């Protein structure tokens, strides 16, 4: 449990870390956020996360109360105050307190929340033996309706798919877009391997431009593995050699079953394991 929370311009006790019931972040999901890892006392890819946060805010015409340098300082202070060397940071910017109407511009100042805590998304044995997923029947938000690059507080589309996963006794669901192509998982990006080549859907298919996705693509290319961004079909997921997901909380996790079809030999494949290892080394500041 976090001992101090950053709220707006200062650190406060958790009991004092409260926002109004009239905050449009609560009333409408009007706001943006980031999830960021701390490894060995270093904030992982902070510049990339802050860039995505400021761009998400700009896209919805939300002003963040401080600049990136001040925000970096606030993040560092929050980590120190909670004694975190390996953990997770949740950075949230809400539209702020307004009236019951939708209009965002009547809201007073945006609010800034930084929570530093520990995290384990999936049990360790899932990383060793791989994870099962299902195909969600919930279609991913149309990318022209809500640009997938905006990491907003509106996660209902993903939550509907997550409910389908949990109802089926698995922890993740693959979401397809309006054309039937693979978009992403509810909180992770999708990768498959076929004949030694890695494939991942383009952002335009309706995927968040994942920071882990970018790092893993780079690590794979540095290993001499070809990575292709193109639309993927459900059939291609069913017949691939390897399948893995990437995300800040999940890191790199192998998928060994989708909709009852075993992937490869039913264990995380060699490229998945290599990239997981390289990712761990890179994240912990050892050369990959
Ligand atoms: N897609 C969605 C919908 C996400 O919420 C996330 C973050 N959990 C990702 C993909 C992965 O992005 P990142 O690697 O930046 O965490």
CB of 208 within 6 A of ligand 1: the answer is yes
SS3 percent helix, strand, coil of the chain, rounded to 5, is: 30, 25, 40
Q: Whose CA is nearest to atom 5 of ligand 1?
A: 187
Q: Whose CA is nearest to atom 8 of ligand 1?
A: 187
Q: Whose CA is nearest to atom 9 of ligand 1?
A: 188
pLDDT in tens, 218-264: 999 999 999 999 999 999 999 999 999 999 999 999 999 999 999 99
pLDDT in tens, 47-76: 999 999 999 999 999 999 999 999 999 999
Residue 248 CA: nearest ligand 1 atom is 16
How many angstroms is it from 106 CA to the middle of ligand 1? 30
How many angstroms is it from 249 CA to the middle of ligand 1? 8
100/239 Cα distance (integer angstroms): 50
Strands 251-258 and 197-200: unpaired
pLDDT for residue 42 is more than 70: yes
Fold of 5-117: D-amino Acid Aminotransferase; Chain A, domain 1 (3.30.470)
How many angstroms is it from 35 CA to the middle of ligand 1? 8
Predicted pLDDT at 178: 97
Predicted pLDDT at 1: 74
Predicted pLDDT at 108: 87
Of 115, 114, 146, the residue nearest 30 (C-alpha): 146
Which band of pLDDT confidence, cut at 50, 70 and 90, is reported for residue 121? confident
Which band of pLDDT confidence, cut at 50, 70 and 90, is reported for residue 288? low
Query: Does the fold of domain 124-283 match that of domain 5-117?
Result: no
250/68 Cα distance (integer angstroms): 26
CB of 45 within 6 A of ligand 1: the answer is no
Which band of pLDDT confidence, cut at 50, 70 and 90, is reported for residue 171? very high
102/178 Cα distance (integer angstroms): 27
Residue 184 CA: nearest ligand 1 atom is 1
Strands 172-176 and 131-135: parallel
Which band of pLDDT confidence, cut at 50, 70 and 90, is reported for residue 119? confident
Where do the structural domains in the chain lie, given as residue ranges? 5-117, 124-283
Give the residue ranges of DSSP H helices in the chain. 24-28, 46-59, 68-81, 124-129, 156-167, 211-222, 234-239, 270-283
273/288 Cα distance (integer angstroms): 13
270/202 Cα distance (integer angstroms): 24
How many angstroms is it from 222 CA to the middle of ligand 1? 22
Catalytic residues: 151
How many angstroms is it from 212 CA to the middle of ligand 1? 8
Instruction: Please state, rounded to an integer, the average pLDDT across all residues of the chain.
Output: 97
CB of 215 within 6 A of ligand 1: the answer is no
**If you classify domain 124-283 with CATH, what class do you get?**
alpha beta
CB of 158 within 6 A of ligand 1: the answer is yes
- pTM exceeds cut of 0.85: yes
CB of 30 within 6 A of ligand 1: the answer is no
Put residue 65 in one of left, alpha, beta given phi > 0 → left and psi -120 to 50 → alpha.
alpha
Q: Which two tokens stand for residue 143?
A: 């990318």
Decide: residue 228, CB within 10 A, 0-12 exposed, 13-18 middle, 19+ buried.
exposed
Predicted pLDDT at 287: 64
CB of 152 within 6 A of ligand 1: the answer is no
CB of 213 within 6 A of ligand 1: the answer is yes
Predicted pLDDT at 120: 82
284/99 Cα distance (integer angstroms): 45
How many angstroms is it from 186 CA to the middle of ligand 1? 8
């Amino acid at each position: 449990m976090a001992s101090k929370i950053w709220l707006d311009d200062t650190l406060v006790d958790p009991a004092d870390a409260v926002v109004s019931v009239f905050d449009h972040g609560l009333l409408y999901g009007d706001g943006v956020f980031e999830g960021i890892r701390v490894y060995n006392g270093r904030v992982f890819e902070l510049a990339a996360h802050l860039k995505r946060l400021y761009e998400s805010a700009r896209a919805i015409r939300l002003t963040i109360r401080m600049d990136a340098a001040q925000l970096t300082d606030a993040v560092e202070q929050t980590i120190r105050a909670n004694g975190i060397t390996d953990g997770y940071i949740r950075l949230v910017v809400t539209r702020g307190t307004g009236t019951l109407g939708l209009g965002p511009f009547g809201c007073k100042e945006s609010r800034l929340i930084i929570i530093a805590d520990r995290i384990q998304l999936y049990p360790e044995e899932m990383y060793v033996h791989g994870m099962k997923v299902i195909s969600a029947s919930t279609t991913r938000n149309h990318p022209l309706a809500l640009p997938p690059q905006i990491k907003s507080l509106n996660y209902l589309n993903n939550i509907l798919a997550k409910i389908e996963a949990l109802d089926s006794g698995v922890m993740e669901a693959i979401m397809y877009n309006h054309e039937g192509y693979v978009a992403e998982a509810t909180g992770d990006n999708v990768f498959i391997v076929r004949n030694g080549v890695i494939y991942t859907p383009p952002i335009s298919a309706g995927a968040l431009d994942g920071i882990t996705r970018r790092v893993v693509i780079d690590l794979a290319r540095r290993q001499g593995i070809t990575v292709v961004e193109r639309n993927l079909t459900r059939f291609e997921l069913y017949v691939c050699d390897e399948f893995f997901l990437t995300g800040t909380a999940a890191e790199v996790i192998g998928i060994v079953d989708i909709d009852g079809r075993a992937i490869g030999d039913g264990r995380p494949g060699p490229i998945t394991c290599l990239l997981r290892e390289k990712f761990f080394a890179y994240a912990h500041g050892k050369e990959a």
